[in-house]
Amino acid sequence: MSGTRAFARLLGALLLGLGLTSLLSAQDAPDQGSGACVCPDEVTLAEPAWVRLPPPNLSVTAAYMTLGNRGDDDLTVVAAESPIAGTVELHEHLQDAAGVMRMRQVASLALPAGGSLAMEPGGFHLMLIGLHQPLAEGETVPVILHLADGRTLEVAAEVRRAAPGRDHDAHHHHGHRHH
């Protein structure tokens, strides 16, 4: 009797563990088995891709993601595009002499062998310029990256107000302004 009960408890724990594991892996490694990234074998999507929801009437925004390179060769991102934007530029953020953060276009972004390329707020990012239509929070848009060797990555980026897992803004809703 007790053996059966112990087995049932073990099975339950196993199932719970599996459920949690699949939940966690779905968040941590969206490239695995999902359609989040159509990438070369050695390229992983280490952090999910997302596009910042732009303010209304602004036709410019930025896309972020972290790529991993588990291969033996350094890779270089040389261009990007998206069907939702007229132009996509590779950008970096820099502090100028006056201490002001500015962004500027760069010709390429390095994805070193065994390393990663973080595109995140305040750092490297993709600038989506000339949005063809307003974006909606929660929708998924394709972003295509071109590597120097001619291969491409197609990533599904979710339109969000803030970075996944860094959703501090959610706790600071100022709500609707009443005039």
Shortest distance (Å) from residue 91 CB to Cu ion? 3
- Cα-based torsion angle of the residue sequence 63, 68, 73, 79 in order, rounded to the nearest 10 degrees: -10
Residues 54-113 that bind Cu ion (CB under 5 A): 91, 103
Least distance in angstroms from the C-beta of 145 to Cu ion: 16
Tell me whether strands 43-52 and 152-160 are parallel, antiparallel or unpaired. parallel
Backbone angles phi, psi at 146, to 5 degrees: -110, 130
The residue within the footprint of Cu ion, chosen from 37, 117, 127, 143 (CB under 5 A), is 127
Residue 144 lies near Cu ion (rule: CB under 5 A): no
162 binds Cu ion (CB under 5 A): no
Quick one: 29 or 129, whose CB is closer to Cu ion?
Answer: 129
Q: Which residues contact 29 (CB under 8 A, 6 or more apart)?
A: 44, 45, 46
CA distance 46 to 73: 18
Between 103 and 118, name the residue whose CB sits nearer to Cu ion. 103
* Footprint on this chain of Cu ion (rule: CB under 5 A): 91, 103, 127
